[in-house]
C-alpha cells in the first residue's frame, strides 16, 4: 500500500458529526494512513510548517477532507494551504510535491438536488472545484478528482437525524477508503 496522508480541514472536528465520523471510519479502514487534524495541529493559527511539509513529502497519496463552507474550503484549511504549500516547496523549480496523488473529499450541508444547474445554487458541484484543480495543476499533483457527501447539515439536527448522518458518513467513508486504496 502506498503512503496515505489524510488532512482534516474541519475547524472544529469535536463538534462535527459527518466529518468526524468520516475521519473515524477512515482510521479504521486505513489504519496505516497518517491522519492529520488541522484543528489540533495549530497554535493560534500557526502551523509547524516543517512537520507539515515532512508529512506531505512522505506521502504518495494526499486526501483533503473538508466541509464546504461558503462554497470553498474552510479558512483553517486555506491558512494551512497558504502556509505549507509555498513557492519552493509546493511549486517552482525546487518543488517537492509533484507526482503525488491528490483526492479531495467534501461534505456539504445542503442536499444534492440544490447543486444542479436547475437547482437553487444554479451550479453543479464540480463547478466549485476549480480552485482545487488549479492548485493541483500548479503543484504538479496528480489530481484524482473529488468525492462528496451532501445533506449533512448541523441545522435542525435531532438524535435521529444525527444517527442517520453518522450512518451515511460511515458508508461514504467506506467508499472513500476504497477509492484511496485503488490509487
Q: Report long-range pairs for 50-57 (Cβ below 8 Å, ≥24 apart).
A: 52/80, 52/83, 52/84, 53/84, 53/89, 53/96, 55/5, 56/5, 56/84, 56/96, 56/97, 56/100, 57/96, 57/97
At residue 154, the pLDDT reads 77
As separate numbers, helices (DSSP H) first and strands (DSSP E) second, the chain gives: 6, 5
Global pTM reads 0.95
User: What is the pLDDT tens value at each position of the chain, 183 positions in all?
Assistant: 699 999 999 999 999 999 999 999 999 999 999 999 999 999 899 999 999 999 999 999 999 999 999 999 999 999 999 999 999 999 999 999 999 999 999 999 888 888 888 989 898 889 999 999 999 999 999 999 999 999 898 767 789 889 999 999 999 999 999 999 999
The CATH label, of 3.30.70.20, 3.40.640.10, 3.40.50.360, 3.30.70.140, for the domain at 4-182 is 3.40.50.360
Percent of the chain as helix, strand, coil, to the nearest 5: 45, 20, 35
Q: What is the pLDDT of residue 119?
A: 85
C-alpha cell at 13: 472536528
Amino acid at each position: 500500500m502506498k503512503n496515505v496522508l489524510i488532512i482534516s480541514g474541519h475547524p472544529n472536528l469535536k463538534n462535527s458529526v459527518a466529518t468526524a465520523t468520516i475521519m473515524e471510519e477512515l482510521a479504521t479502514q486505513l489504519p496505516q494512513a497518517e491522519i492529520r487534524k488541522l484543528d489540533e495541529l495549530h497554535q493560534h493559527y500557526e502551523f509547524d510548517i516543517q512537520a507539515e511539509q515532512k508529512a506531505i513529502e512522505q506521502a504518495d497519496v494526499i486526501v483533503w477532507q473538508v466541509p464546504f463552507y461558503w462554497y470553498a474550503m474552510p479558512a483553517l484549511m486555506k491558512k494551512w494551504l497558504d502556509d505549507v504549500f509555498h513557492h519552493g516547496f509546493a511549486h517552482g523549480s525546487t518543488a517537492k510535491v509533484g507526482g503525488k496523488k491528490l483526492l479531495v473529499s467534501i461534505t456539504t450541508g445542503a442536499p444534492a438536488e440544490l447543486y444542479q444547474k436547475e437547482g437553487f445554487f444554479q451550479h453543479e458541484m464540480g463547478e466549485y472545484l476549480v480552485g482545487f484543480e488549479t492548485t493541483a495543476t500548479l503543484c504538479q499533483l496528480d489530481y484524482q478528482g473529488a468525492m462528496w457527501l451532501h445533506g449533512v447539515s448541523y441545522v435542525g439536527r435531532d438524535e435521529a437525524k444525527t444517527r442517520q448522518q453518522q450512518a451515511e458518513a460511515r458508508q461514504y467513508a467506506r467508499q472513500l477508503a476504497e477509492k484511496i486504496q485503488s490509487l
